Amino acid sequence: MRWMRFDDGGVARFGQVDGDRVLEHRGDLFDDPQPTGREFPLEGLRWLPPCEPGLLLGLWNNFRAAAERNGWAAPAQPLVFGKSVHSLIGHEGAIPAPPAAMGRVAYEGELALVIGRDTWAVEVSQAADHIFGYTCANDLTALELLPQDPGFTQWTRAKSGEGFCPLGPWIDTAFDPMAASLHTVVGGRERQHFPLADMFFSPVEIVSRLSQTMRLRAGDVILCGTSVGVLPMKPGTRVEVSIDGLGTLSNLFG
């Protein structure tokens, strides 16, 4: 089942994607949403991020190929940072040109998982029951901001600019990420292509390990990290993050 959110004349609505239409629902997406009986054509809708997380997290160094390429040690635990929820935009949303002070901005195609219910200290064997579904993400990074202070890597500042977290197009509740590959196409050229099974920590391991020290709630989003092929983008460039069997997230930068 695929769920998406959209803007209807200034009102945020959500529904189930059924072919080329959306079946509107009401209530809580994560707690027995009910159909309204209304439907909308998918074409022409203004996409919103598919959920409204209270917590938006990302992982660094979670792919073996990238670690090998860059000489990074295998992490003993998920290496996590926070992104502002205000950085979220939906599929086909425009990524505003960042202020000059932010410098070069890089794309990072990623798988994102969405938490489905209250999650605290769960075992790996239980974690799948706490994942509502999956979506595509682009974890943008202001490269010059990261090392600006030699005493502290500024992850949150570098990853929380306006439009720095495109998410979508929908949440797929039946998707199996470990059999899929991710592709990032920048300006019509494929720049990233890697199997999601190359993660050091799979989605269920991420949820289990993070839940030992922080409570996760329904709607929270965790970006599972990226692999090789990350490069800065030029203004006017379209970036498409595709995951086999899940969908394609497309946004114009600048």
Domain ranges for the chain? 1-47, 49-253
Whether the ω angle into residue 169 lies within 30 degrees of 0, i.e. cis, is: yes
For residue 152, the model assigns a pLDDT of 95
Tell me, what DSSP letter sits at residue 40? Answer: E
For residue 119, the model assigns a pLDDT of 98
Tell me, what DSSP letter sits at residue 145? Answer: T
The residue-averaged pLDDT of 228-234 equals 97
Look at the block and give the residue holding tokens 């069997």: 245
Task: State pLDDT tens for residues 23-66.
Answer: 999 999 999 999 999 999 999 999 999 999 999 999 999 999 99
For residue 47, the model assigns a pLDDT of 98
Strands (E), 105-180: 105-106, 109-115, 131-138, 141-142, 165-172
- CA gap 1, 174 in Å, rounded: 6
Q: Which two tokens stand for residue 163?
A: 């439009």
Task: State pLDDT tens for residues 140-181.
Answer: 999 999 999 999 999 999 999 999 999 999 999 999 999 999
Residue 212 pLDDT more than 90?
yes
- CA gap 99, 81 in Å, rounded: 22
Nearest alpha carbon to residue 183 among 222, 141, 136: 136
Calculated CA dihedral for residues 188, 190, 191, 194, nearest 10 degrees? 150
Give 117's pLDDT tier (boundaries 50, 70, 90): very high
CATH of range 1-47; options 3.40.50.300, 3.40.630.10, 2.30.30.370, 3.20.20.140: 2.30.30.370
The residue-averaged pLDDT of 217-240 equals 97
Give 207's pLDDT tier (boundaries 50, 70, 90): very high
In the chain, % of residues over pLDDT 70: 100
Handedness of CA 181, 182, 186, 192 (dihedral sign): negative
Say if residues 62 and 200 touch (Cβ distance below 8 Å).
yes
CA 150 to chain centre: 28
What architecture does CATH give domain 49-253?
Answer: Alpha-Beta Complex (3.90)
The residue-averaged pLDDT of 74-98 equals 97
For residue 101, the model assigns a pLDDT of 86
CB count in 10 Å sphere of residue 182: 25
For residue 61, the model assigns a pLDDT of 98
Angle at 217 between CA 216 and CA 223, to 5 degrees: 60
